[in-house]
Chains A and B, each alone.
Chain A
Amino acid sequence: MPAQAIEVILNRQLADCLSIPVFITDRKGNLIFYNEPAEEILGKRFEETGEMSVEVWATIFKPLDEEGKPLPPEGLPLVKTLKNCKPYHKIFTIENLKGKKERISVTTYPIMGRGAEFLGAVALFWEIKDE
């Protein structure tokens, strides 16, 4: 694996300091880092799993719309960020491997380097409690 770009390294170091779940992917969507709060959502520790291909980590969550129907991948903010290199935001429900459903707010942004090249994407998850 090639060394990470400095912009990606700094995003990881920032994520490591935050109390909100943060997922970082490479250009292709492979999960290259998630922080401790994100471990709570995944139910797995980064030290144990290491990086995960997009095929593997995409199966961990089942995104659902307001009616409980599966959301197509192309409607998910991270997929749109990876495709269009733009930030997106969406509120939806996820069902994890244990069948637990959580309503979450997801904000994603592309990591655009100094040379304006696309280096990867970041997804911030926020669990929505009853409001």
Chain B
Amino acid sequence: MKIKIRGVRGSIPTPGSDTAYYGGNTSCVEVSEQEYRLVLDAGSGMRLSNVDGGPGNHRVDILLTHLHLDHIMGLGFFQPLFDPSMEVHIWGPASTTHSLHSRLSRYLSPPLFPVLIRNLPCKLFLHEVNNTRFEIGPFKIESAYVIHPGPTVGYRITGKHSTFTYIPDHEPALGRDGMVDDPNWVSGYTLAEGADLLLHDSQYSSGEYPSKQGWGHSSMEDTLRFAGLAGVKHLLLAHHDPVHTDVQLNGMFESLKSTHRCNFEYELAVEGKEFDLA
């Protein structure tokens, strides 16, 4: 399984020289195995995605964790949606009262976007997910609700030889005393358990987190704890706060490394970086 990071920024794109190293595009990751390709989230990084389809180069599957703007703003600029020969499958959560189609239409319609979802030239298929298991080609996929404002899922993607877990927006430590030690009471645990690679929200430092509690994101320290509890092998800290420059992120990470020794590898997610989990 190959993973390519297309966007690591949280909330809003942050172009500019101050963020050029880690990247300014919002959430998007490509996952490929054999001739099958998945695109996880449709943030502004999706514009850079050169996905040219899966089997026979005529199918692509987009897995949305939730429909906050930073996770869907790239959809309207994803070329396969405008290609009549393409079959595009979008997987994502509905809400209690609105279908996935209805929720996506809020963005893919005027005045926010000039093209109506029904007028997209591709062959479009929408699939609603919740606590679901499904398969796409060689991928066995599990989706489950996680703690974040509004209907939000994380994905556990198992290929032939490895497992990648993707939870870019997540606040498992929400509560009076933070994360509970019992794994059965930790949001997202079953998605992340034993994963070869986990990409997880780590928007804040532990100093910043108290004033942002309940916003749906994690501190780097809580993410390390979550990853340790889940027994992952490799952690990517992602969804970087838009106010954090490369210099600040480097400083935060150095501070983290000096105080946290873990029995797994961890690093800050960088736009453009690739991982081969074979």
Q: What residues make up the interface of A, taking CB atoms closer than 8 Å to B? A: 1-7, 9-10, 12-13, 16-17, 114-116
Alpha-carbon separation in the docked complex, A13 to B147 (Å): 11
Q: CB distance A3 to B184 under 8 Å?
A: yes
Residues of B104-141 at the interface with A, using a CB-CB cut-off of 8 Å, are: 130-131
Instruction: Work out how many contacts link A and B, with CB atoms closer than 8 A.
Output: 43
B interface, size bucket: 20 to 34
- Is the CB of B96 closer than 8 A to any CB of chain A? yes
**Cross-chain contact of B187 among A6, A17, A115 (Cβ < 8 A):** A6
Q: CB distance A1 to B175 under 8 Å?
A: no
**Cross-chain contact of B147 among A2, A6, A115, A116 (Cβ < 8 A):** A6
- Is the CB of B145 closer than 8 A to any CB of chain A? yes
> DSSP majority for the B interface?
loop
Interchain Cβ contacts under 8 Å between A and B, 23 examples: A1-B184, A2-B184, A3-B183, A3-B186, A3-B189, A3-B190, A4-B184, A9-B147, A9-B185, A9-B186, A9-B187, A10-B147, A10-B174, A12-B180, A12-B185, A13-B175, A16-B177, A17-B175, A114-B95, A114-B130, A114-B151, A115-B130, A116-B96
Task: Point out which of A1, A3, A5, A115 has the most chain B C-beta atoms below 10 A from its C-beta.
Answer: A3
Other A-B contacts than A9-B185, A17-B176, 17 sampled, CB-CB below 8 A, are A1-B184, A3-B183, A3-B184, A3-B190, A4-B184, A5-B145, A6-B147, A9-B147, A9-B186, A9-B187, A10-B174, A12-B180, A13-B174, A16-B176, A16-B177, A114-B95, A114-B130
Which residues on B sit within 8 Å (CB–CB) of A116? 96
Q: A9-B147, A10-B147 are in contact. Are A4 and B176 (CB under 8 A)?
A: no
